């Protein structure tokens, strides 16, 4: 079927199609790169198994509550740091329960205390396939009944499961606000624990800190080479259009504009 468009218009349409197709392909490629970069931060996060902070039951009547407060504060801060994917350990956790039932973990491995020996936490972390473990403990506790004041010392550390290396180790002390004659020891020690945990985790997992591993930046030259095919495609389309336009001018000019009759 014969086209009703002039040859020049046909060439322009062909060129336009080539350019639009090339631009659409480039747009899809850039979208894919952005999606890949968006997922990179999640890929680089390290898995971390957080063990409950050790608080001896002889410390105070609310030792379990103090341990829970320290552990919850640590979990919140580790997650907020953006460096880790955090799981809080508990004895009935299915991966640990299976290993215990299969006798790959002994009874002594799965119960507190966890911070006395780094080997226990590392053994469990390696068995469940985690990158890091975090352990902590209440190292000192003092209640001054006359002053209505509690002072605590807490330590925490992050360990590399594969190498056993201590990546961070922090020990800090803090005191409660001074109470009055109606203040209870449990209220004061929770106040001291809360203040100490904020200071401790501020150093152990500071906000806005960088991810443990950083991606390798792709050189600019490499990015340009990835787009060479696009420029080649545009050049081919342009050359094709010029060739067709030139051919149309020499071969079709006599038909569309016949020469004047001889005199």
Domain ranges of the chain: 43-204
In angstroms, the CA 231 to CA 5 distance is 28
Strand-strand pairing, 166-175 and 149-160? antiparallel
E-strand spans in the chain?
Answer: 46-50, 84-88, 132-144, 149-160, 166-175
One digit per residue, the tens of pLDDT, for the chain of length 263 reads 555 555 555 555 555 555 555 555 555 445 555 545 445 444 578 999 999 999 999 999 999 999 999 999 999 999 999 999 999 999 999 999 999 999 999 999 999 999 998 999 999 999 999 999 999 999 999 999 999 999 999 999 999 999 999 999 999 999 999 999 999 999 999 999 999 999 999 999 998 655 444 344 444 445 445 566 566 666 566 656 555 555 554 444 444 555 555 55
> Which residue has 């409660």 as its token pair?
176
| Domain 43-204 architecture | 3-Layer(aba) Sandwich (3.40)
Q: 3-class SS at 182?
A: coil
């Amino acid at each position: 079927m014969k086209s009703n468009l002039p040859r020049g218009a046909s060439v322009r349409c062909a060129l336009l199609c080539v350019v639009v197709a090339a631009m659409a392909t480039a747009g899809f490629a850039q979208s894919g790169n952005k999606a890949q970069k968006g997922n990179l931060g999640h890929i680089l996060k390290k898995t971390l198994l957080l063990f409950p902070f050790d608080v001896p039951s002889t410390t105070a009547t609310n030792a379990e509550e103090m341990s829970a407060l320290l552990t919850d504060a640590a979990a919140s801060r580790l997650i907020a740091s953006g460096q880790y994917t955090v799981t809080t350990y508990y004895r009935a956790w299915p991966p640990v329960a299976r290993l215990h039932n299969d006798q790959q973990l002994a009874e002594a491995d799965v119960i507190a205390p966890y911070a006395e020996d780094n080997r226990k936490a590392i053994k469990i972390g390696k068995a469940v396939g985690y990158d890091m473990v975090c352990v902590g403990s209440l190292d000192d506790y003092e209640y001054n009944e006359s002053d209505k004041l509690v002072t605590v010392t807490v330590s925490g550390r992050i360990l590399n499961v594969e190498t056993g290396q201590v990546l961070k180790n922090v020990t800090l002390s803090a005191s409660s606000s001074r109470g009055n004659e109606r203040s209870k020891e449990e209220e004061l020690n929770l106040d001291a624990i809360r203040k100490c945990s904020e200071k401790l985790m501020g150093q152990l997992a500071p906000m806005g800190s960088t991810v443990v591993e950083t991606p390798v930046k792709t050189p600019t030259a490499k990015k340009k080479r990835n787009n060479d095919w696009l420029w080649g495609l545009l050049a081919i389309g342009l050359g094709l259009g010029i060739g067709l336009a030139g051919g149309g001018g020499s071969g079709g000019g006599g038909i569309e504009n016949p020469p004047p009759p001889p005199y």
